[in-house]
Structure 1
Amino acid sequence: MNGYMTNGTLDFLRKLPEKHPGKNFYFMRESASTLVYYEDEKKSIFASGRSYEIILQQGDLKDTGFVVMNNIPVADDGKATFEDKFKQRQQNVETMPGFEALRLLRPKKGNTYVVMTQWASEADFENWKKSDQFKKAHKEGSNVKPPAYFLDRPFITSYRMIDLEEK
């Protein structure tokens, strides 16, 4: 399965469901920017966008909630190690209140993986960040430098799901 995303204006992107009625699009907003994500076995419909292979999937995405994307640049020779360590790591995120979905997305081009999690609310995500499970999974507080296979520091983007019916 593949995951596809692109950015654009809401006015332009909101036409996608009419043009591609068989696809289930997820619309999300970060300040003034709108992002659309969908999953499919077929080739991307986006002229310019990002394509990923979904290599780990938990839960079902919903049209509401709060989405966090941890963007992790990984060196080519470290991709297998990164994926293996991620899959072996005890996440326990799925047991947290408000957790809805997780996707580990391998880039088809470039080096930036995306760990996407969806939460019922931003408060649920903040509670996860304060949890013992989060601290254990991220070894918070131990000034460990990033693994050598990280090309750069990971960065986080967060979004609120958009209900097109409300706009």
Structure 2
Amino acid sequence: MNAFMTNGTLDFLQKLNDKYPTIDFFLMNSGTSTLAYYEDHKKKVFSAGRAYEVLSQSGTLQEKGYVVMNNIPVTDDGKAMFESKFKQREKEVDGMPGFQAFRLLRPKKGNTYVVLTQWRTEGDFDNWKNSKKFKETHKNQDTKPPAYFADRPFVTSYHMFDPDKI
């Protein structure tokens, strides 16, 4: 399965539902930025977007919630090791309160993977970050980044778009 995302204005992205009624778009806001995300087996509808292969998934994306995307640039030589490490850890968040969905996304172009998690609320994500399980999983990351990192990872977070709050 593939995943696609693009950024744009809210007005423009809201029109996607009318233009492509068979695709379930998820709209997300972060301050002044809006992102559209969808999953499909092959259909790419964004002319200026990012395409990914879904390597691993759990849970179901919801219309409401809080989304965190860890954007991790990985060297070509380190891709196999990175994917293996994440596949071993993929089910660690499943049982956490407020967890809704997980996706490990491999870029079709470039080297920046996306680890997407969706939570019921931002507080649920914060509880996960402060949990013993999280600390065990990330215990060695405070020292030196893994050799397969091509650059410094960065996090983006979004609230699912709620049309009732316009």
Normalising by structure 1, what TM-score? Answer: 0.95
Aligned to 2:7: 7
- Would you say 1:160 and 2:162 are equivalent positions? no
Partners of 1:16 and 1:90 lie apart in 2 by 31
Query: For the Cα contact (< 8 Å) 1:14–1:164, is it kept in 2?
Result: no
Structure 1 counterpart of 2:6, one-letter code: T
Q: How far apart are the structure 1 equivalents of 2:65 and 2:52?
A: 22
Tell me, in whole angstroms, the C-alpha distance in 2 between the residues paired with 1:90 and 1:145: 22
RMSD (Å) for aligned C-alpha atoms: 1.3
Q: Which runs of 4+ in 1 moved over 6 A?
A: none
Question: Quick one: which amino acid aligns to residue 153 of structure 2?
Answer: P
The offset of 1:89, in angstroms, is 2.8
Count of matched residue pairs: 166
CA contact (8 A) 2:71 2:113 kept: yes
Matches within 5 A, 1:5-44: 5-44=5-44
Give TM-score, length-normalised by structure 2. 0.96
Matched, 1:77 2:77: yes
Shift of 1:42: 1.5
CA deviations on 1:103-124 (whole Å, 9 max, x unpaired) are 0000000000000000000000
Alpha-carbon separation, structure 1, partners of 2:44 and 2:6: 10
SS at match of 2:43: coil
Q: Is the 8 A contact 2:56 2:90 kept in 1?
A: no
- Partner AA of 1:94 in structure 2: D
* Percent identity (aligned): 62
- Output the CA distance in 1 between the equivalents of 2:53 and 2:90: 21
Tell me, yes or no, if the aligned pair for 1:54 and 1:103 is still in contact at 8 Å: yes
CA distance in structure 1 between the partners assigned to 2:86 and 2:146 by the alignment? 12
Residues 61-104 of structure 1: per-residue CA shift (max 9 Å, x gap) = 00101000000000011101100111123652111000000000
Pairwise mapping of residues 1-167 of structure 1 onto structure 2 (< 5 A)?
1-89=1-89, 91-139=91-139, 143-164=142-163, 166-167=165-166
CA contact (8 A) 1:91 1:133 kept: no
Q: Which moved more, 1:80-89 or 1:22-31?
A: 80-89
Unmatched segments (≥5 aa) in structure 2: none
